[in-house]
A and B are shown apart, each in its own frame.
Chain A
Amino acid sequence: KAGVTQTPRYLIKTRGQQVTLSCSPISGHRSVSWYQQTPGQGLQFLFEYFSETQRNKGNFPGRFSGRQFSNSRSEMNVSTLELGDSALYLCASSVTGGGYGYTFGSGTRLTVV
């Protein structure tokens, strides 16, 4: 079966711009979680969506937002980009969420210049 698909794979944006990342989960998975991965901070939780509702949220500023559609696909948006937002953004899908059985996508590498 198809895995978790993230698009685009790479992005270069300028400070102040906004960006939207997409994540298509494994068929049948209703939970999508987003993580930011940086060399210094490891994997930091952004938010989790389950059946179109945000179920959990991490400690990121309001510039980071997300949503989930009825087909379970999820998008993450970052507004007013800062240099420090440069990172690998990973999404993970699972059947039930709550940390169980995550399958990760290959990520979107965002570079802010």
Chain B
Amino acid sequence: GENVEQHPSTLSVQEGDSAVIKCTYSDSASNYFPWYKQELGKRPQLIIDIRSNVGEKKDQRIAVTLNKTAKHFSLHITETQPEDSAVYFCAASNGNEKLTFGTGTRLTIIP
């Protein structure tokens, strides 16, 4: 089955700087890669997703890049703000089976 690895497990960034979280996946059939943000005590929320026919997608300060050859995708957050502090999960799916999650990255924005 699919295996998703996520790094780093914790990340501290000065407010205003950029943050990058990286994931790798094992199943070459995976074609959908969402990212979820989970604030303390709250539900995971989808913040951005990308499909395998696209190399990059942006939404304001958030961007995701995908390298299908390397089976690698990344989340980039620019101009970080205190409200970006949360746990971020990457995930992968082939559309027919479950969504497999990475182990999460705890992002802390330092004021």
Contact = CB atoms under 8 A, between A and B. Distances in A.
Nearest to A91: B43
Contacts, number: 53
Contacts of A107: 43
B96 interface: yes
A104 B96 contact: no
A75 interface: no
- Give the interface size bracket for B toward A: 20 to 34
A83 B86 CA distance: 28
Interface string A81-100: 00000000010100000111
A64 interface: no
Per DSSP, chain A at the interface is strand
Interface residues of A, number: 20
A17 interface: no
Interface of B: 32, 34, 36, 42-46, 49, 89, 91-104
